[in-house]
Amino acid sequence: MSVDIHGRKSHAQGLRYAPDYPERCARALDEALRDVPAYELWRALDPGPERSVFSRLAALPALTKADLRLHGPQGFVPHGRDIAAGVGAHEIELVQTSGSTGDRVTNVWYQPWWDASETASWQLNAHARAAAVGEHPEAILTSPWCTGFPCEADYLAIHQRTMGRFLYLSERADPSTWSAELMDRMVKELNAFKPVVIEANPSFLARLSRHIVERRLRVPSPAIIILTYENPSILHHRQISRAFDAPIASSYGATEAAYVFMECEAGRMHQVTESCHVDFLPFAPEHGGPDIGRILVTTFGNPWRALVRFDIGDVVRLDGPAPCPCGRNDGLTLAAVEGRTISITLALDGRAVTQGAVDRALGAVEGLVEYQMLQKGPGAYYLRFVAEEGASSIVGGAAREALRGIYGNAAVVTAEPVGAIVPDPPGKYKLATSLDPVDPDALLEASYAPKVL
């Protein structure tokens, strides 16, 4: 581990990278500090080029969404480029992230950079690499408010939902309201379109998969299913696998940072080292560290936006010391993305519990279809769940015991069966959360905590 002049450590120092990787990191950092207005106050914190780039990064603060809103889109554009001119020339566009109102950020969208990041990510999975021939047909089942053609009042014809080689299967953003007729239409279109790739919100595709299994319908299996936009649940994986005979890979990234990790054919998540650097900040041991922690992302090669140590807002779990069976070993390798920092809850003893831990506990409950867990207060947990027909009582009891297993035997767990779980706008499901959000900075191991300006 490298240590900066203020005692902050860098996990990256102990990882394997391509020979030119540190130089690419340094170039991204130098250009940002020199040319990007938003980092003006950061320049004095840089230990200087005589230090390793990983030590230099460790000495800097974390970049937050609040910072992005404070400085605005132009604040992260290098000197010499003007957003209005770029938009006018159709080189870029301005897009807004799909989070809650207080969490939304306006981003400069540069399509060639995004496409290059996606292409690099697909090289990290053998099935995706073989399928991505450039002109392959893809079916998309995500929230149409994120990508696609939204229409909540009526239904759109297939030609209104097709763009080139992409077919957008749904114009509706709430799967709990999907009719049997709408899902039958999706199945019919899959059979006619025969996509090589299906890209989907895991919750959306799980809903369609349940319909396929219940109706005993047949659908062609693609070369690969890529899950995106949400952190997939064990339940999602199980339900999708019952309807489709295809490899499933989770693609992880963000509108601001593009593609950051890709799941390989062996089930590990590998860093997309071609397009970004990732700093790992472990939690303190009492909260799951050193294997569980947060990540900060530094982007490479985007001429219209420079992000340094961007707090992407998620918790990850490191892979073990054994090399990945796929043979890839550059950069950070994860066992899993554990969920959002806003999805962290607390056990009776004050220990942090990730959404991933909740999902592993509830994923073992037979007959459970969907769930949403809310911590209402210290030691008080409320679970809304959907069960298979006739199994609500058994599922509710088993779910309560599963949650007491991670929160503590004295935890007060209320479980309520419901007909459906409704996603948050614009179509993302929140599997776990707390009425009193946990401060993720308080969970970090102190020597990794970012500097605060």
pLDDT at 1: 47
**The pLDDT value given to residue 269:** 98
pLDDT score at 428: 87
Q: Which fold has domain 345-434?
A: GMP Synthetase; Chain A, domain 3 (3.30.300)
Q: What average pLDDT does this structure show over 43-65?
A: 96
Candidates 3.40.50.12780, 3.40.50.1000, 3.40.50.720, 3.30.390.30; correct CATH number of 1-338? 3.40.50.12780
Average pLDDT over residues 152-181: 96
For residue 238, is pLDDT > 70? yes
Q: Is the pLDDT of residue 183 over 50?
A: yes
On the question of pLDDT at 2 being above 80, the answer is no
**Band of residue 146 on the pLDDT scale cut at 50, 70, 90:** confident
The domain limits of the chain are: 1-338, 345-434
**How far from 202 is each of 162, 225, 333, 433, CA to CA, in Å?**
21, 10, 22, 19
- On the question of pLDDT at 453 being above 80, the answer is no
Residue 295: what are its φ and ψ, rounded to 5°?
-130, 150
Mean pLDDT, rounded, for 333-343: 96
For the four alpha carbons of 438, 444, 446 and 448, in that order, the dihedral sign comes to negative
pLDDT tens column, 193-215? 999 999 999 999 999 999 999 99
Residue at token pair 């207080």: 102
Q: What is the pTM of this model?
A: 0.94
Beta bridge partners of 20: none
Mean residue pLDDT across the chain: 94
CA-nearest of 299, 257, 296, 294 to 274 is 299
Q: Which residues contact 264 (CB under 8 A, 6 or more apart)?
A: 124, 125, 126, 249, 270, 324, 326, 328
- Tell me whether domains 1-338 and 345-434 share a fold: no
Q: Are strands 197-200 and 138-141 parallel, antiparallel or unpaired?
A: parallel
Q: What per-residue confidence (pLDDT) applies to 133?
A: 72
- Of the listed ranges 34-48, 61-75, 127-141, the one predicted with least confidence: 127-141
